[in-house]
Amino acid sequence: MKLKDYITLANLLAGLGAVVALIERDFDLACYLIFLAYVFDLLDGPVARLTGQFDDFGAHLDTVCDFISNSIAAPFLIYYAFREDAGYPPLLAAAIAAMPAALGTIRQAKGSVEHLSYPCYFLGLPRPASALLFVALVNSSLWRVPELRAAWGWLVHPASALAVVAVSALHLSAFPFASNKRRRWLKWMWVGRHAFLSLSPVVALVGWLGFGRPGVIFDYILFCLAVYIFLSWTQIPRGDWRRVRHYLKTREVLLPLVHESGAWRPRGWLLPALEDTAEWDEEVAAAERRRSA
C-alpha cells in the first residue's frame, strides 16, 4: 500500500460513511460524504503522478472503490431522497435507485473484460460524475428550498427521476466524455474546467454569506455537470469522433488525437464537433481501408 492507495481507500470509506449516515437519518452528512468521496477520487491520480507510484494494484483499487462509493452508496442516497423528500412509495423509490446501481455494476463488469476509455476520453459516463450529479440534484434549491419545492415539486421530482435513469444509461454508452489525462484543453472546455475547479468554493462562500445557504454550491455543481454530460460533446473535434468510432469497431488506437495537435485550433467557440478536420479524417479512412484490404 502506497500513499495514493490510502487516498483511494478514503474514497471507499467516505462512501461507506454515507450509508451509515443514511441509516442514522442524517441525509445532509451522507451527501457531503459522497461529495468527499469524489474529492478523494480526484486526488489519488495527482498524488500518484507526483510520487511516481503508478501500479496495476492502484488502478484496480481505484476502480473497485469508485464502484462501491458511486454505484452502491450513492443509490441509497437516491432512494432516501425520493422516499423521504419526494414522498414516493418504497417500490418506486427503490426502482429509481436501482438504475444507477444496476447499470453501474454492469459497467464495472464490462471494465474487467474491455477498456472503457480512449486516450483523453472515457467511453461512457464515468460513475464519479454521475454520483456527484445525483448529490447535486437532490440538494438543489428546487429540492431543498421549501417555497420552491411546494411550487415546483410536482414537476421537479418526476423530471429528476427521468434524469437519474437517463444519466445511469450513459454508463453503458460508447459516448466519449473528456478526461484529464494528456488533454489539451481548448476554448470552452478550458473555461468550463477552470470555472468548475476555481469557482465552486467561491459560490459556496457567496451562498453562505449572501443567502445564508452554502448549499447553493449544489446548484452550481448541477449546472456544471449538466453541461459536461449533455453539451461537452460539442467541443470534441470531428476527427476525434471518427477515431473513437474506429476504435469501437477495430480496437485500434489512432494517434495523435486532433485536439492534441498543435496544428489544429477550433475556428469557433461553439461547435468544434462540426468543423472540418479533413487531414485527420483521412488518417482514419486510410486505416479502415488497410483493415478491409
Q: Taking the domains of the chain in order of start, what are their residue ranges?
A: 3-235
Q: Does domain 3-235 have CATH number 1.20.120?
A: yes
Q: For 82-136, how does the pLDDT look when each residue is reduced to its tens digit (9 = 90+)?
A: 999 999 999 999 999 999 999 999 999 999 888 899 999 999 999 999 999 999 9
Selected residue with higher pLDDT from 219 and 293: 219
pLDDT at 182 over 80: no
What is the pLDDT averaged over residues 37-63? 82
Selected residue with higher pLDDT from 271 and 68: 68
pLDDT at 51 over 80: no
pLDDT value for 123 = 95
What does the alpha-carbon distance between residue 130 and residue 122 come to, in Å, rounded to a whole number? 13
What does the alpha-carbon distance between residue 183 and residue 30 come to, in Å, rounded to a whole number? 33
Number of continuous H segments (helices) and E segments (strands) in the chain: 12, 3
What the block records as the C-alpha cell of 280 is 485527420
Selected residue with higher pLDDT from 283 and 132: 132
Percent of all residues in the chain with a pLDDT value above 90, rounded to a whole number: 51
The contacts found for 274-283 with CB under 8 angstroms, 24 or more apart, are 274/238, 275/237, 275/238, 276/238, 277/237, 277/238, 277/239, 277/242, 279/239, 280/237, 280/239, 280/242, 280/243, 281/238, 281/239, 281/242, 283/239, 283/254
pLDDT at 257 over 80: yes
Selected residue with higher pLDDT from 214 and 158: 158
How many CB atoms are located within 10 Å of the residue 212 CB? Answer: 8
What does the alpha-carbon distance between residue 22 and residue 35 come to, in Å, rounded to a whole number? 14
